[in-house]
Structure 1
Amino acid sequence: MSFDLGLKGLRALVTGGTKGIGAAVVAVLREQGAQVISVARSAADSTPEGVHFIAADLGTAAGCASATEAVKARLGGVDIIVNVLGGSSAPGGGFAVLDDEQWANALGQNLMAAVRVDRALLPGMLARGAGVIIHVTSIQRELPLPDSTTAYAAAKAALATYSKSLSKEVTPKGIRVVRVSPGWVETDAAVALAERLAEQAGTDYEGGKQIIMQALGGIPLGRPAKPQEVADLIAFLVSPRAASISGTEYVIDGGTVPTV
């Protein structure tokens, strides 16, 4: 990003900040001069200079507590929270294979991590009367894939509802809350999935990508989004340039969702 977003010196926390969209968000916020803390279960192969990393499992209450206390100890609070953390480890097979543990994991990672992080750090924002929270949801809250992502999609739908309710409560107090809803993004995990599907189908990587796009009902743009594209959108939304934006959702899916 080649222009100044006015983020220099602001304190930012990025959850799930070592891979995919999260890593791209960490990099662009740091490039813009923000003080950035990245939280994830394990460190990346390399961390941008000046970024502080905290290892924690935010899918658990204890992990959220330890991470947010460390954030407050290091920065005294934050001006920006970007809740990127999310994902699914559920097996294929539809509803019947989703036991209580699978549901608890999906809700812990995709909903409760954001709820707990916000609950710990939002009071400091309210005391200052300023701040921005981004919740990364997913188009699967509208287009779930029943074979494998029912619990993930339901958790992301819950996150979207929570985010909207939170925005109505705290926007009048100076805190902007915005949702970003990606479609298929070409992260390392997505590349691995496409390669696996390609091998099973006896085709190449581009063929594997087509298999995924067909499962989504097609992507009019003809390709998945890049992590950097999602990160650039988020960087704009947390900046003073987006000062009038709150309570809404920005879909970045290449036109995948076929409804208005």
Structure 2
Amino acid sequence: MPGFLTLQGRRALITGGTQGAGAATVALFRELGAQVLTTARSRPAEMDEAMFIAADLTTAQGCDTVADAVRGRLGGVDIIVHMLGGSSAPGGGFAALGEAEWQAELNLNLLPAVRLDRALVPGMARQGTGVVIHVTSIQHRLPLPEATTGYAAAKAALSVYSKSLSKEVSPKGVRVVRVAPGWIETEASIRLAERLAQEAGTDVEGGKRMIMDALGGIPIGRPSTPAEVANLIAFLASDRAATITGAEYVIDGGTVPTA
């Protein structure tokens, strides 16, 4: 069908693809015809072993393992989607973040993308085509000082790095774009809403409202779904977005109050 969005025949690496928006992106890419590898520390029982690489991407060795597997199994890569990210930092503001907490935020939210790009993007440049998508966060523009200072700073660094990379490799045929989600309604976020609700003596919908209030509100009245985030990523990875590079696309239901 003319104009139909397809990723047929594309070789893709999607990090953090075993849950949430990452899992939704893996499923959609496969549906659209891509050959997909994904990675996490351990493989879910329901995931095909042939499409999975077990590795700890917070280490340089783990990134090397994934890059070697991509070259060995796929013979190279056409699309890289850096979904990996998150935070386990304690609350309490900046003073609660010691050396270990800061290093953990960088090791999870910045350095895996830097290391994998360093290993795989030169091959894209040699073939004269490719797409790199860095999943950042609205937190780099809208940090929550009580709990996300380190995460937000790491995502801000990822965004600046991504922009710099785009300026270097776009003339070589490699597009680099960013996707900045707001709150995504994943299983983990629902568990958070349930915990907040229990602590506040309300129901899970009340817990969700507490999260939205902490973000300053979501004008559309709900978080994004993993599938909605995956749809945006698939579009940006496809030929329909062939002249888009160096840009950041926010998907947050209107949470960020400025353009």
Instruction: Specify the SS of the correspondent of 1:221.
Output: coil
For the residue of structure 1 that corresponds to 2:110, the secondary structure is helix
Is contact 1:21-1:230 (8 Å) kept? yes
CA RMSD of aligned residues (A): 1.1
What residue ranges of structure 2 are gaps of 5+ in the alignment? none
**Match of residue 234 from structure 2:** 235
Per-residue CA deviation, residues 79-126 of structure 1 (Å, 9 max, x unaligned), is 000000000010111111111111111001100000001111101101
- What is the Cα deviation at residue 4 of structure 1? 3.5
Contact persistence 2:196–2:207 (CA under 8 A) = yes
Secondary structure at the residue paired with 1:148?
coil
Contact 2:43 2:49 in 1 (8 A): no
Whether 2:201 is the aligned partner of 1:202: answer: yes
Measure, in 1, the Cα distance between the counterparts of 2:65 and 2:43.
16
Aligned to 1:86: 85
Output one character per residue of 1:158-208: Cα deviation in whole Å (capped at 9) or x when no partner: 000000000000001100000000000001111110010011011111000
Could you tell me the TM-score, scaled by structure 2's length? Answer: 0.97
Q: Distance in 2 between matches of 1:71 and 1:107?
A: 23
SS in 2 for 1:153: helix
Are residue 19 (structure 1) and residue 12 (structure 2) matched?
A: no
**2:185 pairs with 1:186:** yes
SS of corresponding position for 1:101: helix
Following the alignment from structure 1 to structure 2, what is the Cα–Cα distance between the partners of residues 50 and 179? 29
Contact 1:30–1:51, Cα closer than 8 Å, also in 2: no
Look up the match of 2:41: 41
Asked if 1:10 is matched to 2:45, the reply is: no
Q: Report the alpha carbon displacement of residue 51 of structure 1 after superposing the two structures with TM.
A: 5.9
1:57: which partner in 2?
56
Partner of 1:29: 29
Distance in 2, matches of 1:53 and 1:4, equals: 28
- How has the CA–CA distance of structure 1 residues 230 and 141 changed in structure 2, closer, same or farther, with 3 Å as cutoff? same
Cross-structure match for 1:104? 103
Residue 149 of structure 2 corresponds to residue 156 of structure 1: no
Paired residue secondary structure (1:5) = coil
Task: Work out the CA distance in 2 between the residues paired with 1:203 and 1:196.
Answer: 10
- The amino acid across from 2:193 in the alignment is A
Query: What is the CA–CA distance in structure 2 between the aligned matches of 1:23 and 1:194, rounded to whole Å?
Result: 21
Following the alignment from structure 1 to structure 2, what is the Cα–Cα distance between the partners of residues 228 and 45? 21
Q: Which amino acid aligns with 1:40?
A: A
State the AA in 2 paired with 1:78: V
Alpha-carbon deviation of 1:41? 1.3
How far apart are the structure 2 equivalents of 1:211 and 1:98? 24
**Partner of 1:127 in structure 2?**
126
The 1-side partners of 2:68 and 2:74 are apart by: 10
Aligned 8 A contact 1:38 1:51 in 2 = no
Counterpart of 1:96, as a letter, is: A
Q: Deviations over 1:117-155 (max 9, x none)?
A: 111110110110000000000000011111111000000
Letter paired with 1:238: A
Relative to structure 1, the CA distance from residue 238 to residue 92 in structure 2 (aligned partners, 3 Å threshold; closer, same or farther) is: same
Partner residue in 2 for 1:69? 68
Letter in structure 2 aligned against 1:173? K
1:224-256 CA-partner distances (Å, limit 9, x unpaired): 000000000000000001101100000000000
User: Shift of the alpha carbon at 1:45?
Assistant: 4.2
Q: Which amino acid in structure 1 is aligned with residue 32 of structure 2?
A: Q
Please state whether the residue corresponding to 2:29 is helix, strand or coil: helix
Supply the distance in 2 between the matched residues of 1:42 and 1:99 (Cα, whole angstroms): 28
How far is 1:50 from its partner? 8.6
SS at match of 1:250: strand
Unpaired runs of at least 5, structure 1: none
Query: Which residue is 2:218 aligned to?
Result: 219
Determine helix, strand or coil for the equivalent of 1:6.
coil
Q: Which amino acid aligns with 2:125?
A: L
* CA–CA distance in structure 2, aligned partners of residues 189 and 6 of structure 1: 30
Q: Is the 8 A contact 1:167 1:178 kept in 2?
A: yes
Aligned-partner residue type, residue 84 of structure 2: L
